[in-house]
A and B are shown apart, each in its own frame.
Chain A
Amino acid sequence: MSRSDDKLLLANVSRRRFLMGLAGGSALVLAARWDMPLANEKAQFGAGAMPGGWVDDPNVFIHIDSDGTVTVVNNRSEMGQGIRTSLVLLAADELGADWDRVKVRQAEANQEKYGNQNTDGSRSMRHWYDPMRRAAAAARLMLEQAAANQWSVPLHEVRTDIHKVIHIPSGKELGFGELAKAARGLDVPGRNDLVLKTADELRFIGRESGYINGKLESAYPKAIDGEDIVTGKAIFGADVEVENPLYAVIARPPVYGSKLESYDDSETLKVPGVQKTLEIEGTGQPAGFSPLGGVAVVATNTWAAIEGRRKLKIQWDNGPAGDNASYTSESYRKALEERAQSPGRVIRENGDVEGALKQAGKTVSATYYMPHMAQSPMEPMVATVVVKNGEAEVWAPVQNPRATRDTVAGRLGMDREKVRVNVTLLGGGFGRKSKPDYAAEAASVAQAFEGRPVRLQWTREDDIHHAYFHAVSVDHLEAGLDSDGNALAWRHRTLSPSIGSLFAPDPEHKGEFELGMGFNTMPFSIPAIRLENPPAPAHVRIGWFRSVYNLPHAWAIQSFAHEVSVAAGRDHRDYVLELLGPGREIHNLTVGDGWNYGEDPDMHPIDTGRMRAVVEKATAAAGWGKELPEGRGMGLAFHHSFVSYTAIVFDVEVDDSGNVIIHRADIAFDCGRQANPERIHSQLEGACVMGIGVALMSEVTFKHGVVQQDNFDTYLLPRMPDAPKEIHIHLMDRQDEPMGGVGEPGLPPVAPALCNAIYAATGKRIRRLPVGDQLKA
């Protein structure tokens, strides 16, 4: 490694000001900056193609105090995926820091400084693994150089040990804290001068520590927020301390697009604590991230605001809502099922499907339905805003700090720079908190109370009534088999309202990024394939829900593959392995207009060999094919999403009353290289449970444009008795493959695997989700 001065840039002193506010005058920092030979703006794929790109400047992310405390700045939102622990863990490991002396500081919204902060699409780790390690490796090299300078020894005679630098020949040591000041004055090495630690030098990265498959392997390193969470000290959206706040709730139009006609607040104003009501302007359709409008009730505590809202008498005008006011789930489902009988826009075509279907000895067809769902994170939406002297400050649990900043600024008519967004912990996100409508609502209320913080609280009813709903879907499939049961033809029509309708006039067709989620990339090797997308209009706000359109696509494709295997009289696993064919790489741009999760298809093709491997792993671990008692069965499903591969086998019993008892789940997962396996396990466990909700009980329905569920007594979520008795996770060892997503890919195969298991247990085929009481007849 070259460390000559001519490869190093001089520190830019003006950039040292970021130190302000961190631990006062004694704080030291590695103040210098990178040259940027790898320009973000030239990138077509990956982290560099995201707005704001990546940043690997140690200035931005790593601070060392003279007492040795290492503070790592986390720029991504923490919503339960463990990113505050995992990103910091990368830096601590690469730096050589003692985990007990590492702290995290949450970045405010500032994409210019911190790079992309939109915590969505299972991207945080795969986009930030390399930059964060480089930042830490640079900091480590600077500490080593500082020590070498102090001892007047060559750099190659020193090395970093845990939280200290050692002079190898003499055994002299200097702690990180002692070196911080000197390191600060040094130049930042160029990227080419960095040497990242090798696998055997790493203490945390890629190690299966913690609680793994029911066994405590090692308790170290502990989750960074763990202690605060179990003692009630963790700061979520509604927990921020502000001075003398007001509390507000909003009554919103019950139908998407309807408007406030008039309201009477005379009873509301009698509620003790209620201060004021005010109209919140809506922006009509498409709503985007803007408020729906309505009436805000502002009070001295949340309860008074909720009580006051209950006493409002409101007249809504459904005129502007148009067709939305007659939107009813049952008739909409029938309309889509009808439309699925006719051809739609062709997305992908290989061979002559219609001819092959006519010639086939046997045809199989089925129609699958998945309803609307609300993300419903346990923490309902909430935001606190103070508007003062032409500036605004926001505290909110948001997945997309930049969109929050821009939406609030737009709402208030301010420049972005006048709005500061502080990101709290998120009590769950699942895509809902990617939409900062609630922060914009809070800003509108706060504008009416200049100088006073306003906390806008959503109730659970608000959450379920006004979600950005997971798109309802109908998928119709038809396959033709030869006399040996081999598949000759596969036709799939998918119908769902598009998220595109949220931001622009309703396209009534899925966009590229929606089709790319497991539809056009259907991996089976079948001579004739035709994939179509007939139209489906949107009548509510459609938004993304963890794993998004992968949910209906995996549900339909994986259920149907099982149905075809049954029709062929073949074992499901053996049949799908044959359908997948020998391992090969599918470049997603060769299979119709599609999207590859923003990643380079050459680096991240769909590898059917890796897909086969997870299927083989999960089935082997589950004991696929073994004898099971009466009323019990195994079901398999697998899916590629967010450039990772998941296969699940459920072992399920359906009792005489029609209750589903899940004895065991075996999940095989391949996300390429792993950063923090312990949190990969927890994400897969959680996705499994959430998917059980998708399969068995979660459904939002509309009648005349109004949501029919109000709270968790009618919008049902999985509870402890619904969870599998055992979850076994099998992480594939693919350390040489590029990193894939983790948060979402565990979800799509859950519902089809579970319903396939129900079929194996009972002979009853579920084609309409949720299962609900369909097994109780």
Chain B
Amino acid sequence: MVTLNINGEQHELDVPDNMPLLWAIRDVVGMKGTKFGCGVSQCGACTVHLNGTAIRSCVTPVSAAKGEITTIEAMAEDPVGSKVQQAWLDLGVAQCGYCQGGQIMNATALLKRTPNPDTSEIVDAMAGNLCRCGTYNRILAAIERVAGKEDQA
């Protein structure tokens, strides 16, 4: 048995130790906000937070997911995450939306670590998250919008 702490709730799962966290979250726990995009840590669609750090759940075995796991479903209650979500809505970032949960998770982790990143820090931090619709300019603007807001706070 493996115990996962997801968004503050304990889940006891009967899964192999090497099952990637992504599939445990999606197929076993049944939370669908975290997406499968590549399975090899190349696209970022599966990004979740482990103890506040953005990780790729598709290559993280459940045995290594010790601590607090946070997913996109919990971002509305997160003070930074909710601002990021609002900026995404304000700027109409999403096209198909499939990658955007992972983008928001990655952006939120960045802004928690670095509340006022400069443009090159944002671009570097977000380079691991693919968006086939090509929404990068709006993602960047949305992150800068949150960073600007935090400045004024």
CB A435 to nearest CB in B, in angstroms, measures: 17
Nearest B residue to A460 by beta-carbon distance?
B38
Which of B27, B32, B85 has the most chain A CB within a 10 Å cutoff?
B27
Q: Which of B16-60 contact A (CB under 8 A)?
A: 16, 19-20, 23, 26-28, 30-40, 42-43, 45
Q: How far is the CB of B87 from chain A (nearest CB, A)?
A: 9
Interface residues of A in 202-223 (CB under 8 A from B): 210-211, 214, 216, 219, 222-223
A685 sits at the interface (CB 8 A): yes
| Residue with the greatest number of chain B CB neighbours at <10 A, chosen from A216, A231, A379, A688 | A231
Whether B148 is near chain A, meaning CB under 8 Å from some CB there, is: no
By beta carbon, the residue of chain A nearest B62 is: A303
Q: Mark A377-415, 1 if CB is under 8 A from B, else 0.
A: 111100000000000000000000000000000000000
Pick the interface stretch among A58-66, A341-349, A551-559, A714-722: A714-722
Whether the pair A80, B104 counts as a contact (CB closer than 8 A) is: no
What residue in chain B is nearest A216 (Cβ atoms)?
A: B90
Complex Cα distance A235/B126, Å? Answer: 24
Contact A211 B96, beta carbon cutoff 8 Å = no
CB atoms of A80 and B23 under 8 A apart:
no
CA A230 to CA B135, docked complex, whole Å: 14
Distance in Å: Cβ of A308 to nearest Cβ of chain B: 12
B91, B92, B94, B132: the one contacting A717 at CB < 8 Å is B132
Is B4 positioned at the interface, with any CB of A under 8 Å from its CB?
no
Decide if B42 touches A238 in the complex (CB within 8 Å).
Answer: no
B114 at the interface (CB under 8 A from A): no
B residues 45-94 touching A (CB-CB < 8 Å): 45, 71-73, 75-76, 85, 88-92, 94
Assuming A211-B90, A211-B138, A225-B97, is B43 touching A720 (CB within 8 A)?
no
Q: Which residues of A contact B129 (CB under 8 A)?
A: 719-720
Q: In the complex, what residue of chain A is closest to B95 when comparing beta carbons?
A: A80
Task: Flag whether A82 is at the interface (Cβ < 8 A).
Answer: yes
Question: Are B132 and A682 in contact (CB-based, < 8 A)?
Answer: no
B33: chain A residues within 8 A (beta carbon): 231-233
Whether A428 is near chain B, meaning CB under 8 Å from some CB there, is yes
Which positions 444-501 of chain A face chain B at CB distance < 8 Å? 457, 459-460
Contact between chains at A378 and B96 (CB < 8 Å): yes
B139 touches A720 (CB 8 A): yes
Q: Across the interface, do B97 and A720 meet the contact criterion of CB distance under 8 Å?
A: no
Closest chain B residue to A687, Cβ basis = B134
Residue in B26, B88, B134, B141 whose CB lies within 8 Å of A686 = B134
Min CB distance, B40 to chain A, in Å?
A: 5
Q: Which residues of B lie under 8 Å from residue A233 when comparing CB positions? A: 33, 73
B9 to chain A, nearest CB (A): 15
Does B2 count as interface, using CB distance less than 8 angstroms?
A: no
Contact with B along A708-746 (1 / 0, CB 8 A): 000111000111110110110000000000000000000
Contacts of B101 in A (CB 8 A): 229-230, 232
The answer to whether B134 touches A378 (Cβ under 8 A) is: no
Most chain B beta carbons < 10 A, residue from A216, A230, A430: A230
A247 vs B36: C-alpha distance when bound (angstroms): 14
Interface centre among B19, B131, B134, B137 (most CB of A within 10 A): B134
Q: How far is the CB of B80 from chain A (nearest CB, A)?
A: 13
Contact yes or no, B27 A214, CB < 8 A: no
A721: B residues at CB distance < 8 A: 123-124, 127
| Inter-chain contacts of B39 with A (CB < 8 A) | 306, 459-460, 711
Query: Per-residue 0/1 for A276-311: is the Cβ within 8 Å of any B Cβ (1 yes, 0 no)?
Result: 000000000000000000000000011100100000
Partner of B28, one of A223, A225, A227, A301: A301
Distance in angstroms between the alpha carbons of A430 and B133 in the assembled complex: 9
Given contact pairs A232-B73, A459-B39, A685 touches B138 in the complex (Cβ within 8 A): yes
Q: Which of B15, B42, B72 contacts A711 (CB 8 A)?
A: B42
CB distance from A312 to the nearest CB of B (A): 17
A427 to B97 CA separation, bound complex (whole angstroms): 7
- The reply to whether B139 and A229 form a contact with Cβ atoms under 8 Å apart is no
Closest chain B CB from A563 CB (angstroms): 28
- A79 and B96 contacting across the interface, CB-CB below 8 Å: yes
User: B6 at interface (Cβ–Cβ under 8 A)?
Assistant: no
Q: What A residues does B38 contact at CB under 8 A?
A: 460, 711-712
A428 and B20 within 8 A (CB): no
| A-B contacts, CB under 8 A, total | 195
Are B27 and A222 in contact (CB-based, < 8 A)? no
How far is A225 from B92 in the complex, measured between Cα atoms in Å?
A: 10
CB pair A378–B27 under 8 Å, yes or no, is no
Say whether A41 faces chain B, with CB atoms less than 8 Å apart: no
Asked if A201 is at the interface of the complex by the 8 Å CB criterion, the answer is no
Interface size class of A (residues with CB under 8 A): 35 or more
Kindly report which residue of chain B lies nearest to residue A223, judged by CB atoms.
B92
A380 B95 Cβ-Cβ under 8 A: no
Contact A378 B37 (CB under 8 A): yes
- A9-59 contacts to B, CB under 8 A, are none
Cβ-defined contact, B132 with A690, below 8 A:
yes
A112 interface hit (Cβ, 8 Å): no
User: By the criterion CB–CB under 8 Å, are B72 and A232 in contact?
Assistant: yes
B89 touches A232 (CB 8 A): no
A682/B95 in contact, CB under 8 A: yes
Using Cβ atoms and an 8 Å threshold, which residues of chain A touch B73? Answer: 231-233
- Cα distance A464–B113 in the bound complex, in angstroms: 35
| Interface positions of B from 91 to 136, Cβ below 8 Å from A | 91-92, 94-101, 104, 123-124, 126-136
- Check A723 against B98 for contact (C-beta < 8 Å): no
Is B32 a contact of A720 with CB atoms below 8 Å?
A: no
Q: How near does chain B come to A596, taking the closest CB pair, in angstroms?
A: 28
Closest chain-A Cβ to B97's Cβ sits at a distance in Å of 4
- For A665, the closest partner residue in chain B by CB is B137
The docked-state distance in angstroms from the alpha carbon of A156 to that of B136 is: 50
Min Cβ gap B14→A in Å is 9
* With A233-B33, A378-B45 as contacts: A425 and B130 at CB distance below 8 Å: no
A688 touches B43 (CB 8 A): no
Q: What would 25 A/B residue contacts be, using CB atoms closer than 8 Å?
A: A232-B73, A238-B32, A247-B27, A301-B27, A306-B39, A378-B43, A378-B45, A378-B99, A378-B131, A379-B37, A427-B35, A427-B99, A428-B133, A682-B138, A686-B135, A688-B134, A689-B135, A690-B133, A712-B42, A713-B42, A718-B134, A719-B129, A719-B136, A720-B126, A720-B127
List the 5 closest A-B pairs by CB distance, nearest first. Answer: A232-B33, A689-B134, A427-B98, A80-B96, A80-B95
Which B residues are closer than 8 A to A by beta carbons? Answer: 15-16, 19-20, 23, 26-28, 30-40, 42-43, 45, 71-73, 75-76, 85, 88-92, 94-101, 104, 123-124, 126-141
Known: A233-B73, A378-B43, A723-B134. 11 other contacts (CB 8 A): A211-B141, A231-B76, A232-B75, A376-B132, A378-B35, A378-B37, A460-B43, A689-B131, A713-B40, A719-B129, A719-B130
